[in-house]
Structure 1
Amino acid sequence: MSDQSPDPAVARRRLLQLAGAGGAGVLLTACGSSSDDTDDAAVSTTTPATTETSAASGAGDSADVVAAVADVPVGGGVIGTDLVVTQPTAGAFKAFSKVCTHQGCPVSSITGDKIKCKCHNSQFSIKDGSVVQGPATKALSEVAVKVSGTNVVKS
């Protein structure tokens, strides 16, 4: 039995190889998604009323309700399960897909008159879903809505 320790240069090289392989995995994971994608605590939005509550108010088919009128602030909006509902001016409601047109992340917040995607910082107008700041180059898809009683519903 030999009591020789390994060559320090070989040991250091092996350590760097292992660290490099681990680092590449971390980099590939980071390119796939952002850890912020699941950080709901940082999202400052209001969730629209549930369809059960909205249906109880007697306005519109519960399947078509996208938000309660009272939940959508003038000059802002709310992000629901599938749609972003905005009220750019009093009484004028708009709805858009909540999927960012850049790489498909869900938009995450509404600040002032901008709908924001935290994945890559694209921003869209609450008025028409148009791109205010890239990298997105296409507007959010608009969905026709109208007010029915106390709710905003799909047209």
Structure 2
Amino acid sequence: MSQSPDRRTVLRGAALAGAAGFGLAACSPGDSGSYASAVPDKPVELGPAAEIPVGGAKLYREDRLVVSQPAKGEFRCFGAMCTHRGCVLAEVEKKEGSCPCHGSRFDVTTGQVLQGPAAEPLPKVPVKTKDGKLIAG
């Protein structure tokens, strides 16, 4: 006749299984998510278009947007929340934006990932100029 486990053994096993499941979920590599909801749902006035250097970009941290000007008069806008875990990009140097949380880097003229752990590009946001000002969204 086999002996059934006592209550303490069963509870210990359940607790360890729960902790292991939580640990695996927190550390899983497939955690790239879509942070497209971080883009504006209505137009946002960002300021003078002249503030964006040709061949460079500007981070609008409060608006969670980054705008680049790859060529004179050509503006591109992307959501500035990292697609890995949703941290707002910390800085933009020349054509590169970096995430302070896990080190992902993005090309701010295309939105493409230059260095992971992010796997998805930054979401594109429509941008236009009106009366010399940038309007995103």
TM-score under structure 2 normalisation? 0.63
Residues paired across the two proteins, number: 94
Q: Is the 8 A contact 2:67 2:78 kept in 1?
A: yes
CA offset digits 1:4-23 (Å, max 9, x no partner): xxxxxxxxxxxxxxxxxxxx
* Contact 2:99/2:105, CA 8 A, preserved across alignment: yes
Asked if 1:78 corresponds to 2:40, the answer is no
2:68 and 2:95 in contact (8 A); partners too: no
Structure 1, unpaired ranges of 5+: 1-62
Q: How does 1:6-155 map to 2 (within 5 A)?
A: 64-80=44-60, 81-82=62-63, 83-154=65-136
Structure number with higher strand proportion: 2
Q: Matched residue of 1:70: which SS?
A: helix
> Any conservation in 1 of the 2:44–2:136 contact (CA below 8 Å)?
yes
Amino acid at match of 1:78: K
CA distance in 2, matches of 1:88, 1:119: 27
The SS at the match of 1:74 is coil
Quote how far apart the aligned CAs of 1:127 are: 1.6
Greater relative contact order (CA < 8 Å, ≥ 6 in sequence)? 2
TM-score, normalisation: structure 1: 0.56
Distance 2:83 2:136 in 1: 21
Two-structure CA RMSD over aligned residues (Å): 1.7
CA distances 1:102-149 after superposition (whole Å, capped 9, x unpaired): 111100111121111121111111221010111110001110011112
Larger Rg: 1 or 2?
A: 1
Residue identity in the other structure for 2:51: D
Overall identity of the aligned pairs, in % = 37
Greater share of helix: 1
